[in-house]
Amino acid sequence: MGNIHLYADSQFASPYAMSVFVALHEKGLAFDMTTVDLGAGGQRAAGFADLSLTRRVPTLVHDGFALSESSAITEYIDEVFEGPPLYPAQPRGRARARQVQAWLRSDLMPLRQERPTEVLFYGARPPPLSAAAQEAATKLCAAAQALLQDDAEHLFDHWCIADVDLALMLNRLILSGEPVPKRLKAYAATQWQRPSVQLWVHQQRPPL
């Protein structure tokens, strides 16, 4: 298995670090973790900047191989290590899961800006959504409803890492009191109670 080391943000608020943290736990892998103070510019400090190609968290180091960008890391974990799968077995399912991950990381920027992860992990209460963020929220809910079968607990036949990413994005709305369809609330709540997710949720965080 080798030595595994995860670099995460010091506030444990990065949704991308969370995705990798959950993936490691789902695989049952032992790993060490170091936090990087992004507010103080820790990502630009010589030690970390020399290690992480993109100077971002999460960064995973496995036996001297350093890899950043969360979806690349979760795919690597799934391919290299034994244990429960993180992605669907069939090519179309895997492609759809990767599509969901890529979309959630590259789109919906007004929603991500106005409902930051401090809403999830610190209980922050932000102001009402702007028109642009409301449009992003509508797009998110429409896509989630199209992806999920009626009353489905997961995107696919079995849990996959994209479920964590989608549930987190939905919870940006749900946990700040925004209106979200009932079945999406149920889906997000089920995903949020997964033991590996709860381990991240209950990390000891410094004050904002």
Domain boundary among 52, 68, 85: 85
70 in a structural domain? yes
Per the model's pLDDT, the better-predicted residue between 103 and 46 turns out to be 103
Domain span at 145: 91-194
203 in a structural domain? no
Please state, in angstroms and rounded to a whole number, the distance separating the CA atoms of residues 18 and 33. 12
pLDDT of 151-201, one tens digit each?
889 999 999 999 999 999 999 999 999 999 999 999 999 999 999 999 999
pLDDT of 8-54, one tens digit each?
999 999 999 999 999 999 999 999 999 999 989 989 998 899 999 99
- So what's the pLDDT on residue 113? 96
The structural domain count of the chain equals 2
Shared-domain flag, residues 59 and 77 = yes
**DSSP secondary structure letters along 159-184:** --HHHHHHHHHHHHHHTTT----HHH
162 in a structural domain? yes
Shared-domain flag, residues 150 and 81 = no
Please state, in angstroms and rounded to a whole number, the distance separating the CA atoms of residues 176 and 173. 5
- So what's the pLDDT on residue 127? 94
At 1, is the pLDDT very low, low, confident or very high (cuts 50, 70, 90)? low
Q: Which helix (H) or strand (E) holds 189?
A: helix 182-192
CATH of the domain at 19: 3.40.30.10
